[in-house]
Each structure stands twice: as structure tokens, then as C-alpha cells.
Copies of this chain bind each other. A is one copy, B any other.
Amino acid sequence: MRHTNAGALFVDQYQLTMAQLYFREGLADDSARFDYFFRSYPDYGGHRAGYGVFAGLGPLLEWMATTSFSAIEIDLLRSQRADGQESRFREDFLEWLEAGATFASAHVEGMAEGRVVHAHVPIVTVEGPLALMQMLETPLLNHLNYPTLIATKAARVAAAARGRPVLEFGTRRGPAFGANAGVRAALIGGADFTSNVGMSHLLGLDPKGTHAHSMIQAFLVAGGTELDAFRAYARTYPDDCLLLVDTIDTLESGLPNAIKVFGELRAAGHQPVGIRLDSGDLANLAVESAQRLDRAGFAETSIVVSSDIDELEIGRILSRIDAESLVRGIEPSSVTDRLVYGVGTRLITSHGSPALGGVFKLAALKKDGQWRPTLKSSDTPAKIPFPGLKKAWRLYNANGVATADVIGRPEDAPVPRKPLVGSTSDTADAQRLLPASDVDEVESLHGELFAGGKPSAVPAALDELRRRRSDDISRLPAAVRELVDPAGYPVLMTDGLRDLRASLLDALT
């Protein structure tokens, strides 16, 4: 049985009180359409992301398929009382909940998990009875916001790593069991492996790790040495031998001892894996270690660097290795091509931008068989959402480079090889013309995700999710992929949608 706090009650109170109100007012079964989107890319303080990577969908759809109100949950709701008053939820509503409140009636469309996503573009739309769809707000936002945030950060870390492996190490600093969702998202977004054993097995990956400083300490206390500890590790893991060299002194003790053990391993017919640097001046230590390993005949060993690193820190390490290599007259690639990045805290917490502001907004309600678009006003034009039923498309030029995302009414589909005029999403007045060459290919971004009470497709394997992400990133303009000051990626609304929004705004005021 699922825990009380992870099933149908994993929701904010106002969604239940509104659901009861809709029930009492006869609105509960009106069809409603809600959109999930975010308005701004993660901003890490001084630099912001140029694109997002969508993650969390698979677990959300599984949650929807398996969640309903059990007798236990109904009893808990029945126990709620406004101060000293009668039960807050009345019996007729509770019966309605218990009888029918599953998400079997929800129809979900949207983008596939793993894809590159942009601000303002509806990523997921849900359609179904108003009272039930309202109850999806918090679980949906919770399942999608944090993973999308982490997958986005992971894509940036992977970009900074320039093709070298990224290992995710963050579970110990991650948010309770939410760390598992963060690990999954990191693996979708750009991390190659994780140290988290359970998640590795669930996703079919080999878990990665070395040993802790405490292993060396344990040998020292027993009267042994760092070399004894390394030899014990090599005995136990002769084909998996990656040694942490900074417990005593990296260059004076750890590295020479590692080289000695690597020689013994090789003599016994095994191939040593490498060393890990976890403190100090990582750039300098990497250069010095690489040179010494080369001289000792271990040019093929890896150097894992870790210790509070993220995409910017990786960039700084690489620049400093370039500079130091120049001074020493060596090829920087002799160092950088053997680097592996261990990224922990700063990935699993999305350092600098710890929350994605994704929202879930009512877009349309069906009245008398007719969809009616809805709008919420705001003093900030960029916060006024797009009303009504919508679709989204991605445009590509003849080189396969994405040129814009377009949001419009279903009938507004862009026509391939025809110029397109649209309005930018932030200020409705700014028009932008895309020439025909930018509209060489039109991709519809929304597919069916959930219907009939279950996901529309079998859950995508990690490989497939990663392929979507890497394909999409490779099709972004290079300037949008920049880690600092990326170019803005165009998101345009069609004239039809702009006019609809304007007319609804007029009617509101």
C-alpha cells in the first residue's frame, strides 16, 4: 500500500476544497483544460539557461495511473473540521470522490520526456472533469518542476564536460527520497552514471564509486599505511581500481602510492582505472598527476575530479589546465581527455537556481459542448498566460537547426516552407518574421501521453530519453547552447492566438 503522503493526498488543501465547491455548484464534471509551462529559464545568478530539458513525466503518468482515493484517505478527509464546526467535506462529495476520483478520465497531451523545452510553450496539457483536473495541480507540478530543473542543470554540466563522462554523486546532499527523482533527472539530462545504487539498478546502469577517506583511516589506525589500503583495494577490485589519493597528501603520498599499486596491478595482468582528486587546486593537481602518470607509463588511466563542481567550475578547471599546459609545454588534451567529472551537491540542488517556476493554468472550459478560453489578468504582461486550446510546433531550417517554437490555436499550424509572422511571448506587440528558410520543417510537439487511465506508451527506457535530449540539443543554434549569456531562443505565438488573448483581455477590463 502506498503511504498516506504519496497517494491521492499528495495534494494541496485548496485543490480539495475547490473540488468540493465545484461538486456542490454542479461544475465538477465540466470539461477543463489546464496547461503546464514555465515562464523563465533557470537563472543561476549572473547566468541563465538558454533551454530546458523536460523530465519527470514517466513517474507522473505512473502516479496518475495508480492513484485513487481509498477508504483510508476518505476517512482522513472526513475527519477535517473547520474550527469547532461540522465536517469540512460533506458526505455526498466524499462518496463522489471514493466512487470516481481516479485520473482515468484525464486525457494528457504534450511533449515527450527528455526533449528540449522552452519558456511559455505548453509542455503538458491535461483535459478532463474540472474538479479532478484541479486536483492534479500540485502532484503534476511536483513531479515535473524539480526533475526538469535538474535535467536542465545536468545538460549544462555535460556541455561543460565536452564529451567526457559525468558521474552523479549527490544523493547525500539531496532532498530526502526526492534525491532519487533528482538522480533520474540528472541521468536523463546529461550525467552518464550515478553512485546511487538503487537508481542505477532500476535504470540499468553500473553504479560508480571509489572509496572513502575513511578506508585509508581504517588502515592507519590498524597500524597500516595508505599503500596497504590501496593494495587491499587493488586485491579486492583488480579490474575496477580507482584510487582516492588526497587522504594524506595528494602529490607526496597518494599519487606515488597509487602509481606503485598500478604497477603491481599491471604486472599481475590487470589494467588500472585511475585516480580521484577530491580537494585542493584540482586543475594544477590534474596536470601534475597526468604528467606523473604518463611518465610512469599509465597514460591510459583516468583522473576523476570532484569537490563542489558544476558547469562553471568545470569551465574554470579546463581554462586553467589549458594555461598550465602551455607553461609546461604539454598538450592540454593529454590532461583533459582523461578527465571524469564527479558532480554532487551542485547538480542535485541546481546550485544557484533551486526551483523551477513551472505553473499549471486553466486555459479553457467546456460549456454547452463548446470550449471557452479563459484568461487570468496580471500587471506583468509576461505573466498573462495563453488562453484556449493550443498546440505547439518546432520549426527547423534546411540544416535541421531549430529556428523557433510556435504556440497557436490548433488551426494555426505553420506551413512548411512558408514565411511565418508571429508575436513574441513576452510583449504582445513585438512582431517577428521568420523567412521561409527558417520554416523548412514543421514538427508538431504535442502527442498523446495518457488516456483511458494509463500512459499511452510503455515508459521510455533511459537510452531513449537520453537520445531525445541529445538530438534536441544538437539541433539548437549554437548561440542558444552557450552556458553564459545564451542567445534567446524565439518562442512565437500565432496571430490567431495573439488576437484571442487581446480580445479576452479587453473583455476582462
Which B residues are CB-close (under 8 A) to A14? 195, 209-212
Segment touching B, from A4-12, A431-439, A440-448, A489-497: A4-12
B212 near A18 with CB under 8 A, answer yes
Interface string of A196-219 (1 = CB under 8 A from B): 111111100011111111110110
Would you call A176 an interface residue if the criterion is a C-beta within 8 Å of the partner chain's C-beta atoms? Answer: yes
Would you call A403 an interface residue if the criterion is a C-beta within 8 Å of the partner chain's C-beta atoms? Answer: no
Interface string of A147-186 (1 = CB under 8 A from B): 1000000000000000000000101111111111110000
Interface string of A344-382 (1 = CB under 8 A from B): 010001110011110001101101000010111111000
Q: A357-B173, A367-B221, A372-B221 are in contact. Are A10 and B198 (CB under 8 A)?
A: yes
B12 near A240 with CB under 8 A, answer no
A367 near B222 with CB under 8 A, answer yes
Interface string of A118-152 (1 = CB under 8 A from B): 00000000000010001001100111011100000
B83 near A222 with CB under 8 A, answer no
Interface string of A13-29 (1 = CB under 8 A from B): 11111101110110100
A4 near B202 with CB under 8 A, answer yes
A176 near B171 with CB under 8 A, answer no
Which B residues are CB-close (under 8 A) to A201? 4, 9, 76, 79
Chain B CB within 10 A, most for which of A77, A142, A249, A364: A142
Measured between alpha carbons, how far is A56 from B232 in the docked complex, in Å?
Answer: 36
Q: Among B24, B141, B198, B232, which residue has its beta carbon within 8 angstroms of that of A173?
A: B141
**A467 CB, nearest partner CB in chain B, Å:** 23
B180 near A176 with CB under 8 A, answer yes
B365 near A197 with CB under 8 A, answer no
Interface string of A74-95 (1 = CB under 8 A from B): 0011011111010010000000
Q: Among B9, B280, B362, which residue has its beta carbon within 8 angstroms of that of A198?
A: B9
Which B residues are CB-close (under 8 A) to A7? 198
Would you call A220 an interface residue if the criterion is a C-beta within 8 Å of the partner chain's C-beta atoms? Answer: yes
A142 near B179 with CB under 8 A, answer yes
Q: Which residue of B lies closest to A352 (CB)?
A: B354
Which B residues are CB-close (under 8 A) to A176? 56, 59, 142-143, 146-147, 175, 177-178, 180-182
Chain B CB within 10 A, most for which of A145, A208, A214: A214
Would you call A248 an interface residue if the criterion is a C-beta within 8 Å of the partner chain's C-beta atoms? Answer: yes
Would you call A503 an interface residue if the criterion is a C-beta within 8 Å of the partner chain's C-beta atoms? Answer: no
**A201 CB, nearest partner CB in chain B, Å:** 4
When all copies of this chain in the complex are counted, the total is: 2
Would you call A247 an interface residue if the criterion is a C-beta within 8 Å of the partner chain's C-beta atoms? Answer: yes
**A33 CB, nearest partner CB in chain B, Å:** 11
A13 near B195 with CB under 8 A, answer yes
B12 near A222 with CB under 8 A, answer no
Measured between alpha carbons, how far is A142 from B235 in the docked complex, in Å?
Answer: 31
Which B residues are CB-close (under 8 A) to A24? 232, 235-236
Measured between alpha carbons, how far is A196 from B6 in the docked complex, in Å?
Answer: 11
B17 near A211 with CB under 8 A, answer yes
Would you call A337 an interface residue if the criterion is a C-beta within 8 Å of the partner chain's C-beta atoms? Answer: no
A354 near B349 with CB under 8 A, answer yes
**A29 CB, nearest partner CB in chain B, Å:** 13
B179 near A215 with CB under 8 A, answer no
Measured between alpha carbons, how far is A81 from B239 in the docked complex, in Å?
Answer: 10
Chain B CB within 10 A, most for which of A145, A176, A232, A362: A176
Q: Among B79, B182, B197, B232, which residue has its beta carbon within 8 angstroms of that of A9?
A: B197
- Chain A residues in contact with chain B, CB under 8 A? 3-7, 9-18, 20-22, 24-25, 27, 30, 32, 34, 56, 59, 76-77, 79-83, 85, 88, 130, 134, 137-138, 141-143, 145-147, 169, 171-182, 195-202, 206-215, 217-218, 220-222, 232-233, 235-237, 239-240, 247-249, 279-280, 345, 349-351, 354-357, 361-362, 364-365, 367, 372, 374-379, 508
15 A-B residue pairs with CB within 8 Å: A3-B198, A13-B207, A14-B212, A16-B209, A18-B211, A20-B236, A134-B214, A142-B171, A142-B176, A142-B179, A217-B375, A220-B508, A247-B377, A248-B377, A279-B379
